Amino acid sequence: MRPKYPPPLVFACCAIAIWELPSVLDPHFIQRIIAGVIGVSALIVAGFAVWHFHQAKTTLDPRTPAHTTVLVTSGVYRMSRNPMYLALAALLVAESLWLNRLLGFAVVWGFVWFITRFQILPEEQSLARIFGDNYQDYKKQVPRWLW
């Protein structure tokens, strides 16, 4: 199965949905600090993930996993097989906290489910075909998200 939905578009739709949700209470200062730390951390993780792909000179386009030429397993890819998607999910968590949108966490869960089902699983099938045992070994050692 070929991925059909660009993850940045799915992320943007989820971010807009969170923005439109009603707020429970005014966010507390500490809540905003936590949201800021999560958001900045997510941007750093995403930056390193993109940098590793550029270093490896392989495609960043998630719609064409068959064009992948190198299995990137170093840096942030030692902690998660999908640090870019993890960073997008963390940004949605940060937005939910910052805006105090309790229902935003349901949107985050929906994003994780959708990206796993319609993006990550097809990517994994392609990577298994392209890299064979190397990818299977990597899958055994590194979690899909952080769990």
Instruction: List the chain domain ranges.
Output: 27-141
Instruction: For 39-98, write each residue's pLDDT tens digit.
Output: 999 999 999 999 999 999 998 888 777 788 999 999 999 999 999 999 999 999 999 999
- DSSP code at position 27: P
Predicted TM-score (pTM) of this structure: 0.88
Q: What's the CA gap between 42 and 70, in Å, rounded?
A: 24
Contacts of 103 (CB under 8 A, 6+ apart): 21, 22
